[in-house]
């Protein structure tokens, strides 16, 4: 199975601009804000060497991020792994009965294709698989 690297760590925040200012005050470079309509979030990325942190703010009370913050508070939300052949991996997982949130790829940031494995399968960690389009 073709897994390349940890693509990013996702952090749920209430107010994206306020979080951006915090990370900037720590000397970090933060990208412009991007809206991902399909996920009902606004995101910004922090590049640290070859690694990235994704800050996520909900754009609707229906957003998974809004529900997460309501239940658990702000903080680390998911771990994203860069893969090749996302469709094939999802089909294989499905065949093996692995609990998926997305059975087919959806649209993520920067044109990435993304899909989530359910945190109940991974002992409480929400895993995102992503593939460069």
Among 23, 33, 119, 127, binds ligand CMX (CB under 6 A): 119
Find where tokens 């749920």 sit: 12
Contact 85/133 with Cβ under 8 angstroms?
A: no
Which tokens go with 42?
Answer: 């606004």
Tell me the window of 14-22, 23-31, 61-69, 83-91 that interacts with ligand CMX (CB under 6 A): 61-69
94 phi-psi bin (left φ>0, alpha ψ -120 to 50, beta other): alpha
Q: Does 56 bind ligand CMX (CB under 6 A)?
A: yes
Measure the CA–CA gap between 133 and 110, rounded to whole angstroms.
Answer: 9
Residue closer to ligand CMX, measured from CB, 81 or 119: 119
Q: Is 117 in the site for ligand CMX (CB under 6 A)?
A: no
- What's the farthest any 2 CA atoms get from each other in the chain? 47
Q: Which is nearer to ligand CMX, 78 or 113 (CB)?
A: 78
User: Which residues sit at the interface with ligand CMX, rule CB under 6 A?
Assistant: 10, 36, 39, 41, 56, 64-65, 67-68, 71, 77-78, 101, 108-109, 116, 119, 124, 126, 128
């Amino acid at each position: 199975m073709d897994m390349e690297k940890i693509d990013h760590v996702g952090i749920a925040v209430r107010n994206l601009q306020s979080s951006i200012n915090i990370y900037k005050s720590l000397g970090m470079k933060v990208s412009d804000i991007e809206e991902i309509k399909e996920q009902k979030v606004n995101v910004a990325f922090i590049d640290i060497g070859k690694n990235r942190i994704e800050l996520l703010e909900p754009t609707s009370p229906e957003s998974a991020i809004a529900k997460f913050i309501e239940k658990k508070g702000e903080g680390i939300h998911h771990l994203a792994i860069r893969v090749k052949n996302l469709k094939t991996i999802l089909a294989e997982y499905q065949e093996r009965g692995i609990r998926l949130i997305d059975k087919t790829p959806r649209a993520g940031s920067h044109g990435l294709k993304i899909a989530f494995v359910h945190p109940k399968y991974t002992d409480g960690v929400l895993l995102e698989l992503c593939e460069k389009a």
